């Protein structure tokens, strides 16, 4: 595996060297953007509440956040994003020179046949496994099915030939951020689900990873080539999980919850490397969001989060913010917006690290991915 990663990195580096000669030095690649440059034709998004940009507004579900104080720092107010401002995907979209990625369910049939800068299929409360979803939700399978419709029905209205669609899709970026609910709603809820009795953590992780792999392969078959797959954060540190366990942990986080999630993350890392080698012309990068976030949860003040892991808003039993309550004054000082979701600042730092940095996304960052 090590040898493989090394050879892969070498290949990518070589490729990048060739591609970037003449228009950008390696140094320039590290620079922030002046804006205006369009680095990819489209951004397609799949996942859960961490990246939902409003799909759940159109579903019968309690997992809906189109009310204040959500969006208090967002230009358009509450939109169905699960934090005070932007998601990591919003930052990535704007750095790619693209508009915010609209939620699929919010598009009229006419808009669907015109949208060529990407669509967001992510849905709060959705999981990799259908049964992990709560309420009306778009499971990953349904999200992929909607994308299938986009490719087969809508994109042919925009592009004249199949070759043009293939070329467009091969240059587009696909972000996938899902799996937290397969733990939070499912595996870590033995009173509601059998999964922890049926599967040990390794087997459950293997089940999730093989499902995720199947769906990523479907996206590839439909034309996707450039993938960014997010690992899970330390869900055992989220205020909701910490407050759920009795007795309270002595540490800031519920470590056995974190350790089962880490098994999944390791599996995703290996699986994405494997897919890059078996799916011709594909590049999968994975975003390591666990390590840094875990350190921030252990030592919030060291990272400038004086509010620590106390949620910024007043949360109800649903773990979401209660409507119309005034949130904390300094959103940037908190790690969490509600009992599950990070504040915009955390999303910015993850997006920034993955887009331009060298410590969040592997084996290359999104900027490099865009230039391939």
Ligand X SMILES: *[C@@H]1O[C@H](CO)[C@@H](O)[C@H](O)[C@H]1NC(C)=O
Is 338 among the residues known to form the active site?
A: yes
Q: Considering the complex, what minimum distance in angstroms separates the CB of residue 337 from ligand X? A: 24
Contact letters (x/-) for ligand X, 310-349, by CB under 6 A? ----------------------------------------
User: How far is the C-alpha of 196 from the C-alpha of 155, rounded, in Å?
Assistant: 42
Q: Where are the beta strands (DSSP E) in the chain?
A: 43-47, 173-177, 226-230, 283-287, 361-362
Contact letters (x/-) for ligand X, 79-118, by CB under 6 A? ----------------------------------------
Q: What is the DSSP letter of 118?
A: -
* Rg of the chain on CA atoms, in Å: 20
Report if residue 134 touches ligand X, rule: CB under 6 A.
yes
Report if residue 218 touches ligand X, rule: CB under 6 A.
yes
Is 182 among the residues known to form the active site?
A: no
Instruction: For residue 321, give both structure tokens.
Output: 């913010």
Phi, psi torsion values for 344, nearest 5 degrees: -55, -40
Q: Tell which one of 39, 51, 222, 253 touches ligand X (CB under 6 A).
A: 222
Q: Which stretch binds ligand X (CB under 6 A): 158-166, 175-183, 218-226, 290-298?
A: 218-226
Q: Is the dihedral of CA 358, 362, 364, 370 positive or negative?
A: negative
How far, CA to CA in Å, does 230 sit from each of 5, 10, 149, 247, 371?
18, 23, 24, 31, 20
Nearer to ligand X, 193 or 266 (CB): 193
Nearer to ligand X, 38 or 62 (CB): 62
How far, CA to CA in Å, does 98 sit from each of 89, 167, 205, 259, 364?
11, 18, 34, 37, 21
Q: Which stretch binds ligand X (CB under 6 A): 73-81, 126-134, 301-309, 319-327?
A: 126-134
Catalytic residue among 73, 154, 288, 338: 338
Report if residue 189 touches ligand X, rule: CB under 6 A.
no
Instruction: For residue 90, give both structure tokens.
Output: 């919003």
Contact set with ligand X (CB under 6 A): 130, 133-135, 137, 139, 142, 148, 193-194, 218, 221-222
């Amino acid at each position: 595996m090590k040898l493989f990663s090394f050879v892969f990195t070498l290949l990518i580096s070589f490729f990048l060297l060739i591609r970037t000669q003449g228009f950008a030095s390696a140094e320039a690649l590290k620079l922030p953007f002046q804006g205006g440059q369009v680095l990819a034709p489209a951004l397609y998004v799949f996942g859960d509440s961490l990246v939902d940009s409003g799909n759940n507004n159109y579903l019968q579900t309690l997992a809906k956040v189109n009310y204040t104080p959500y969006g208090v720092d967002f230009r358009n107010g509450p939109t169905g994003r699960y934090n005070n401002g932007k998601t990591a995907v919003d930052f990535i979209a704007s750095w790619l020179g693209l508009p915010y990625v609209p939620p699929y369910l919010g598009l009229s049939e006419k808009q669907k046949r015109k949208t060529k800068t990407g669509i967001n299929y992510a849905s709060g409360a959705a999981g990799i496994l259908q049964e992990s979803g709560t309420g009306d939700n778009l499971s990953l399978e349904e999200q992929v099915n909607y994308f299938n419709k986009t490719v087969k029905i809508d994109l042919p209205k925009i592009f004249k030939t199949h070759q043009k669609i293939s070329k467009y899709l091969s240059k587009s970026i696909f972000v996938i951020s899902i799996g937290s609910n397969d733990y939070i709603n499912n595996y870590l809820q033995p009173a509601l689900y059998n999964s922890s009795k049926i599967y040990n953590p390794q087997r459950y992780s293997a089940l999730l990873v093989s499902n995720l792999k199947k769906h990523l392969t479907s996206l590839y078959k439909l034309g996707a080539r450039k993938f960014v797959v997010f690992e899970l954060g330390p869900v055992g540190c989220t205020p909701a999980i910490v407050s759920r366990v009795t007795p309270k942990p002595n540490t800031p986080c519920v470590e056995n919850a974190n350790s089962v999630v880490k098994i999944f993350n390791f599996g995703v890392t290996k699986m994405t490397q494997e897919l890059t080698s078996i799916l011709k012309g594909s590049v999968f990068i994975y975003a390591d969001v666990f390590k840094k976030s875990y350190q921030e949860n252990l030592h919030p003040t060291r990272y400038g989060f004086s509010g620590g892991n106390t949620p910024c808003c007043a949360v109800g039993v649903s773990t979401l913010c209660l409507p119309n309550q005034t949130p904390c004054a300094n959103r940037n000082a908190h790690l969490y917006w509600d009992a599950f979701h990070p504040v915009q600042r955390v999303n910015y730092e993850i997006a920034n690290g993955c887009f331009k940095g060298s410590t969040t996304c592997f084996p290359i960052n999104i900027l490099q991915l865009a230039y391939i």
